[in-house]
Amino acid sequence: MEWEEEREKKRGHGWIWILAAALMGLAAVGGMMLFWNNQFSLELVLEGQEEVLLEYGDSYQEQGAHPVFFGSKMLRGGITPDIAVDIQNEINPERLGCYRVTYCAEFHGYRASAQRVVRVVDTVCPVIELVPGPDQLPGPGEHYKEDGFRASDNFDGDITDRVVRTEMEGKILYTVADSSGNSCSAERLLPGYDPIGPEITLEGDAKMVIPAGCFFQEPGYHAWDSRDGDMTDQVEIEGEVLWYKPGSYPIFYNATDSSGNISTVVRCVEVTGKPRPEVSEPEGKVIYLTFDDGPGPYTGALLDVLDKYDVKATFFVVNSGYDDVLREIVRRGHSIGIHTMSHAYNDIYASPEAYFGDLFGMRQRIMDITGVDTTLMRFPGGSSNTISCPNPGIMTLLTEAVQDAGFQYFDWNVDSNDAGGAKTANKVRENIISGVLGNRVSVVLQHDIHAYSVEAVEGVIRWGLDNGYTFLPLCENSPGFHHGVRN
């Protein structure tokens, strides 16, 4: 009875409060009719979501609701009266299903209610436990003997009888689903089963770029297998890098483990060629004096004759040991080019590797002695030689390869024959002059290792100057007078 008296007391106070608010509103709008025409209502506003998913077995956490009292003309924004909200629910977190929470409130004869939907669900996947088995494979013709498994679910309990077992190559797959549709799987690898191939790791870059003429050096690689261990020495390499020919060359690294798994990685090597210089034809009548196979004991005297007439020539040198003379050739302003290190035809034309090894060796020697990094060169025997015929096609390959590598090779269109039948200075001079007469531009072949050939030079120079010829040294833009390749 005391509770009812207290309720009536609060209700009376509430009406007094509403009446006061209404009178204040009447004062603002200027008429009593506004209060009497006002329609009131009570609503309940839910805290949180109208629908809640509750995981099976979890405790429900009530979020509550609060009342709002509205008027159609006055209190349109609503006020929150200090009243209790009655909450009723029958949620059972241990039972799946849909539940409703009901909220009720009363304020001075106005009643309101609201509902919240709570769904108890099961979204937890079941669990499969495998019993460990012996570390051995079944014998020939035998099936694997199952060692055991268990399946459990937080809602369904023991569901081992629902497990689907599927035998596959090297493994067994176990799958199960609970009554809510949640599923899981487990996999048993049979002892000794090895589905993974070796891992191959490349040293260096997987994509490499090298200039033509630069020997390809394998950067290295490693191979490791989870079962066989280090397999580096079992890697097989397929593919070849033609380091002297521009192009893209894939190299395949293959490894096969004891289980038959094959792994392959690829390295791509790009060989780039250098652009060839544009040939510039000299003006007027020009003679290029060139000397092979030196320097030698007569080269110093030859340099003095050239100085006497201020004539510059070109020397295609070998590794003859006259280092001081090599320096003098450069110091006096002559061109220097590569002929060969050894001049041993069978050795240098044995392979592209052999030729380029000789070529780079002599280039480095010239660089070390004179400081000149020359790209001028002449093939021993010329590009038309047949001495290289024991290696078919070698000159066809080399004449392109040296240019791709940035070298300029020079043949000749006037032969003094000083390495053949011409054994006197007069004969050498006659051969040169007769050869030059037929050309506007001449590249003359001589050898400064022959005294009689060196003695012929002064007569050639005098004749040339008297007949309007200019003597020039070769440079990278000079005409090469390439012979027809015969191998």
Q: 């040991």: which residue's tokens?
A: 321
What is the tally of helices (H) and strands (E) in the chain?
Answer: 10, 27
Cα 322–chain centre separation: 50
Lowest mean pLDDT among 124-133, 192-201, 302-311: 192-201
375/166 Cα distance (integer angstroms):
71
139/199 Cα distance (integer angstroms):
29
Residue 36 is predicted with a pLDDT of 60
Helices (H), 277-388: 299-308, 323-331, 345-348, 352-370
Among 3.40.50.2300, 1.10.10.10, 2.60.40.10, 3.30.390.50, what is the CATH number of 2-121? 2.60.40.10
CA-derived radius of gyration, the chain: 51
Is the entire prediction scored with pTM above 0.85?
Answer: no
Other C-beta atoms closer than 10 Å to the C-beta of 201 total 12
Burial class of 169 by CB neighbour count within 10 A (0 to 12, 13 to 18, 19+): exposed
Residue 38 is predicted with a pLDDT of 74
Lowest mean pLDDT among 56-60, 134-138, 310-314, 333-337: 134-138
pLDDT tens string 350-409: 999 999 999 999 999 999 999 999 999 999 999 999 999 999 999 999 999 999 999 999
**Strands, E assignment, 147-227:** 149-153, 157-158, 164-168, 171-177, 183-189, 199-202, 207-211, 221-225
Question: Mean pLDDT across the stretch 120-132?
Answer: 94
Residue 22: pLDDT over 80: no
Among 1.10.10.10, 3.30.1360.70, 3.40.50.720, 2.60.40.10, what is the CATH number of 199-272? 2.60.40.10
Looking at the chain, the whole-number percentage of residues with pLDDT higher than 70 is 90
- Asked if the domains 199-272 and 286-471 are classified in one and the same CATH topology, the answer is no
Residue 100: pLDDT over 90: yes
Residue 136 is predicted with a pLDDT of 54
Question: Mean pLDDT across the stretch 146-159?
Answer: 93
Residue 7: pLDDT over 50: no
- Residues 286-471, CATH architecture: Alpha-Beta Barrel (3.20)
pLDDT tens string 217-256: 999 999 999 889 999 999 999 999 999 999 999 999 999 9
Residue 190 is predicted with a pLDDT of 77
Burial class of 90 by CB neighbour count within 10 A (0 to 12, 13 to 18, 19+): exposed
| Domains in the chain: boundaries | 2-121, 127-189, 199-272, 286-471
> Which are the contacts of 435, defined by CB distance < 8 A and separation ≥ 6?
413, 414, 415, 416, 442, 444
Q: Taking Cα atoms as reference points, which of 333, 424, 419 lies closest to residue 381?
A: 419
Residue 5: pLDDT over 90: no
Q: What is the mean pLDDT of the chain?
A: 90
Residue 458: pLDDT over 60: yes
Q: Which H or E run includes 459? A: helix 457-466
Residue 33 is predicted with a pLDDT of 54
127-189 topology per CATH: Immunoglobulin-like (2.60.40)
Residue 2: pLDDT over 50: no
pLDDT tens string 166-185: 988 778 899 999 999 999 99
- At residue 129, the 3 state secondary structure works out as strand
pLDDT tens string 245-287: 999 999 999 999 988 899 999 999 999 999 999 999 999 999 9
Residue 8: pLDDT over 70: no
> Which are the contacts of 452, defined by CB distance < 8 A and separation ≥ 6?
418, 422, 423, 424, 425, 428
pLDDT tens string 399-439: 999 999 999 999 999 999 999 999 999 999 999 999 999 89
pLDDT tens string 32-82: 555 567 788 999 999 999 999 999 999 999 999 999 999 877 778 889 999
Residue 134 is predicted with a pLDDT of 62
Where residue 135 falls among pLDDT bands split at 50, 70, 90? Answer: low
Residue 139: pLDDT over 60: no
